Structure 1
Amino acid sequence: MSSDTSDPVGDAASGRATTTAGGVAIHRFEPPQDPAAIGPAWQSHLAPIFTVSFRPETDLTIPISMHGYHLGELLIGDVTAPAHILVRTPEMISRQGIDHILLQFYRKGRSEVETERRANPVTDVQCIVFDLAQPVRIVADAVDATNVLIPRALLEDHGCYPAALHGRAIDHDQDPFGRLVHNFVANVVACGELLDPREALSASTAIVQLCASWLRGQADGRPEASQDIRIRIRRFIEAELSNPKLTPTLIATQLGLSRSTLYRMFAPNGIVAYIRDRRLMAAMRMLVRDDGSRPARIAQVAYAVGFTDERTFRRAFKRRFGFVPSVAGPLRLGGDLDPAPGTVLRSWIESL
């Protein structure tokens, strides 16, 4: 999904992206050596999801860490964060078009979560559900937590509609199934360095199913009535990726938009580039899952994501990822790893 490209703190270094020995992408926050740069680096690191400010009592000398794994269909990781205030505004939501659900399983720490519907205290052994398509403000003490970021569409495929849970704290310790979900996710994070891409995708499938089943038992089962237009456009594109006739004209017609409005929403790269990137990311996930790399299989993948010929697909794939489709299987998930501050997490979210 598209994400905000603004970086409120300039060029402060905030992290490093590599691949594990098995080939799964991993991203770590690395506090700079200069104590004065730690705060801006942390703000930069979280900028693709939240605007960050610090509380008077915030101690930036305590250990701060965050690492995450790109499992192909979702992101998981651990975070040890200082006291801070996190905000998602309607303006951020409109710019970014993120249609994801963030689950944060607290192990230590407390916070106050404020949404348009409720204000909830969150304590350790609770999970907080964030619908990133809705505004929120979190006033947090220092926390230690496990994170899961899942595209909403994957949850809805399992009959889970978590929008009404936004900002709600759910006990993941006293609830036996909640404890199972948390333990499974935490264990996958713990062994993330050892996973290969196919194991990562299998784990992501299991996490989606577990989270959907758990949240379905907490929600009212009804889809959200309204969505931001950017999210509606992206959802339409995902549903029509296999259609070789998917064009800006078709999107504008089906959603009742003018072409100028559609192009303006996807500036500066453009709607056509966005569609092609979504096709290529879908192809990458299909190839990583595949046990073979025969040319016939590659052709099938090309047609399945809307390309009309294999040669065009191969060229586009190599330009996007830097290698040909036939060697995609053993390589990392997550696409190119951009070391610039704030861009790794942003590109990961866009790839889901």
Structure 2
Amino acid sequence: MADSANHERFDSWLDHINRACGPFAGQVTDGGFHGSLQEYHANAMKLSIVDAAHSRLFRTQYEVARSNDAWYYAVFQLDGETVLEQGNNQAVMHSGDITLIDASRPCSINYTQQTKQISLLVPRHMLEQNRRSGELPCAYRLNAEMPVVKMSQRLLHESMKNPTLNACESEAALEALICLLRPVLQVRDALPSKRDKQLERVMGLIDNNIQSEDLRPEWIASEAGMSVRSLYRMFADKGLVVAQYIKNRRLDLCAQALRTVSTTEKLAGIGYNWGFTDHSHFSTAFKLRFGVSPGEYRKRWQ
């Protein structure tokens, strides 16, 4: 009976995790399971406080395919020990440490003991801004003693003490966190491989022709001097899909335009400028990526 009750508590906790953070599978590990979750939303700041013990969460390609790939999870360890894995990397987290997990790739989170951490949703377009090639270092432990890690922890906690932050203030706090962490993430960048350089050239080709209706994988492959199959494989190696990358790149540029152009500019015109010929499709795709409609996004920045 006790074992059954333990699994019932776990199933309830896992259901809450899935609603707050996206699809995860999970299992109880040896020891007495404990789990709770608190959600915190203040406009752009969306995070969960996870308290858990003797359990494991993981995402396979199945869970990834059912989720929104527009995010990274920035994990701020508060107490205890957690082991996070993604790709070939493993981060053993202790109090004060920070790490990054890519929502578009499989991962594993093992709560080996009583643990408390904050999982902050970081929009992909903000973290990857001005970056074309190479992978961000996910499941790397950023040591609690690093000055920028200490400052990032303080900034996050101070932001959480102010739930009345408006849209611009909360997005500014999120951007400040990203600016603090970006240097230590870039320090771990490896020298770009020949394939990374080739991918960078292709992404440059996409950027230079992002407004064209002819921007399709077949055209890109032809211009880059490769087969369509090689193009797909090159993107797949980075956890990307060509068509999805193009759409997300267009949406990110639309979001940038909504923050900067005149309020008299028509929404349909902004979408059209960046390759969305159908306004209904543009509006639906924008809301899926950013959580709000183009009109609401512009209002928040006004």
Same fold (TM over 0.5): yes
Give the superposition deviation at 1:207.
2.9
Aligned to 1:246: 215
Q: Does 1:123 align with 2:94?
A: yes
What is the alpha-carbon distance in structure 1 between the residues aligned to residue 179 and residue 125 of structure 2?
A: 12
What stretches of structure 1 of length at least 5 have no aligned partner? 1-33, 333-352
Aligned residue identity for 2:181: C
Counterpart of 1:187? 158
- 1:302 alignment counterpart: 271
How many residue pairs are counted as aligned between the two chains?
A: 274
In the alignment, which of 65, 70, 78 is matched to residue 38 of structure 2? 65
**Pairing of 1:146-161 with structure 2 (within 5 A):** 146-148=118-120, 149-151=122-124, 154-155=127-128, 157=130
Matched, 1:111 2:82: yes
Verify: 1:144 aligned to 2:116, yes or no: yes
Is this contact kept in 2: 1:79–1:144, CA < 8 A?
A: yes
Q: 1:55 aligned to 2:29?
A: yes
Cα distance change, pair 204–122 in 1 and its aligned pair in 2 (3 A): closer
Where 1:86 maps in the other structure, the secondary structure is strand
Distance in 1 between the 2:123 and 2:271 partners? 25
- Distance of 1:147 and 1:242 partners within structure 2: 36
- What aligned pairs does 1:163-182 form with structure 2 within 5 A after superposition? 163=136, 165-172=137-144, 174-182=145-153
Query: 1:46, 1:52 within 8 Å by CA — same for their partners in 2?
Result: no
Q: 1:235 to 1:200 in 2, by over 3 A?
A: farther
Q: Which has the higher helix share?
A: 2
Q: 1:204 deviation in Å?
A: 3.6
Q: Which letter maps to 2:216?
A: T
- Residue identity matched to 2:183: S
TM-score, structure 2 normalization: 0.65
User: Partner of 1:81 in structure 2?
Assistant: 51
- Of 297-306 and 323-332, deviating more is 323-332
Structure 1 distance, partners of 2:13, 2:132, is 40
1:313-328 maps to which residues of 2 (within 5 A)?
314-317=279-282, 328=297
Identity of aligned residues (%): 16
Structure 1 residues 120 and 137: alpha-carbon distance in aligned structure 2, compared to 1, 3 A threshold: same
- Distance in 2 between the 1:50 and 1:120 partners? 19
Following the alignment from structure 2 to structure 1, what is the Cα–Cα distance between the partners of residues 83 and 125?
24
- Deviation string 1:16-44 (CA, Å, 9 cap, x unpaired) is xxxxxxxxxxxxxxxxxx95851441353
Picking from 152, 165, 175, the partner of 1:205 is 175
Deviation at 1:128, TM superposition (A): 2.5
CA distance in 2, matches of 1:51, 1:239: 40
Give the whole-Å Cα distance in 1 for the aligned partners of 2:204 and 2:60: 21
CA distance in 1, matches of 2:119, 2:43: 12
Contact 1:43 1:51 in 2 (8 A): no
Work out the CA distance in 1 between the residues paired with 2:189 and 2:243. Answer: 37
* Residue 195 of structure 1, CA deviation: 1.6
* C-alpha distance 233-41 of structure 1, shift in aligned 2 (>3 A): farther
**Structure 1 residue matching 2:178: 3-state secondary structure:** helix
Determine if contact 2:84/2:92 at 8 Å carries over to the other structure: yes
Partner deviation per Cα, 1:219-239 (whole Å, 9 max, x = no partner): 145347768xxxx99998677
The amino acid across from 2:263 in the alignment is S
Tell me if the contact between 1:78 and 1:144 (Cα under 8 Å) persists in the aligned partners. Answer: no
Q: 1:48 to 1:160 in 2, by over 3 A?
A: same
SS of 1:171's partner is coil
Q: Cα–Cα, structure 1 residues 137 and 235, in superposed 2: closer, same or farther, change >3 Å?
A: farther
Whole-Å separation in 2 of the counterparts to 1:240 and 1:66: 41
- Sort the Cα spacing of 1:293 and 1:257 in 2 relative to 1 into closer, same or farther, 3 A: same
Aligned-residue offset at 1:107: 1.1
Match of 2:19 among 45, 50, 54: 45
Alpha-carbon separation, structure 2, partners of 1:44 and 1:97 = 12
